[in-house]
């Protein structure tokens, strides 16, 4: 009887103990995925926030259109706003489809390819033009420097500085300042 009265003590399970102790406290339904659960909820919140913003924009747009037409202002519910904007977009799409040529995916891809090539060519032309302008400006600056250097470095046979060049430079500078 002593054996039956004795309570059998469970063996300590270190793995289960650590798993319980280190479990994430994010309220997930599955262990270890609490963070993912919260992120999913955040994405859903962002989606609904974006929907509210779009509805607000559509409502303001419709109010402005009503005021422009001279109609009396009506407060619209979000569902009616979406319905009205969809009707307007359907009308615009049907009108644009009448004038648009039917194209298949290959033709669209080809047109996009040619468009990209044209953009690259235009970019190359613009960069070449900029490069040419920079080179011309550099040449002009170098010529100006060389002219000034020659005027300032003139010397007599004995090595004395010729003042006439310096005076000419001062005169040119004064004329430029007076002219502008």
Residues 35, 26 contacting (CB under 8 angstroms): yes
Residues 162, 155 contacting (CB under 8 angstroms): yes
- Cα Dmax for the chain: 134
CA-closest candidate to residue 47, choices 59, 55, 37: 55
Rounded distance, CA 89 to CA 91, Å? 5
pLDDT of residue 63: 80
pLDDT of residue 44: 79
Q: How many CB atoms lie within 10 A of CB 180?
A: 5
Phi then psi for residue 102, to 5 deg, are -80, 125
pLDDT of residue 57: 85
pTM score above 0.75: no
Each residue's pLDDT, cut to its tens digit, for the chain (180 residues) gives: 555 667 788 888 888 887 777 665 555 555 556 666 677 777 778 888 888 888 888 888 888 777 777 766 555 555 555 565 555 555 555 555 555 556 677 778 888 888 999 999 999 999 999 999 999 999 999 999 999 999 999 999 999 999 999 999 999 999 999 987
pLDDT of residue 35: 67
CA-closest candidate to residue 76, choices 68, 93, 89, 64: 64
Structure tokens at 53: 């913003």
Contacts (Cβ under 8 Å, ≥6 apart) of 154 = 161, 162, 164, 165
């Amino acid at each position: 009887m002593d054996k039956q009265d004795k309570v059998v003590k469970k063996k300590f399970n270190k793995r289960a103990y650590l798993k319980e102790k280190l479990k994430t406290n994010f309220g997930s339904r599955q262990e270890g995925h609490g963070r993912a659960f919260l992120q999913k909820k955040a994405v859903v919140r962002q989606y609904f926030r974006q929907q509210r913003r779009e509805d607000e924009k559509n409502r303001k747009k419709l109010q402005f259109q009503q005021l422009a037409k001279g109609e009396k202002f009506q407060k619209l519910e979000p569902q009616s706003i979406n319905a009205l904007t969809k009707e307007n977009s359907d009308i615009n799409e049907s009108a644009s489809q009448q004038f648009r040529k039917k194209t298949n995916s290959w033709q669209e891809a080809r047109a996009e390819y040619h468009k990209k090539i044209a953009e690259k060519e235009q970019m190359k032309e613009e960069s070449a033009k900029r490069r040419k302008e920079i080179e011309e400006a550099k040449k002009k600056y170098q010529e100006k420097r060389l002219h000034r250097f020659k005027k300032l470095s003139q010397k007599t046979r004995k090595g004395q500085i010729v003042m006439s060049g310096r005076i000419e430079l001062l005169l040119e500078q004064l004329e430029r300042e007076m002219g502008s």
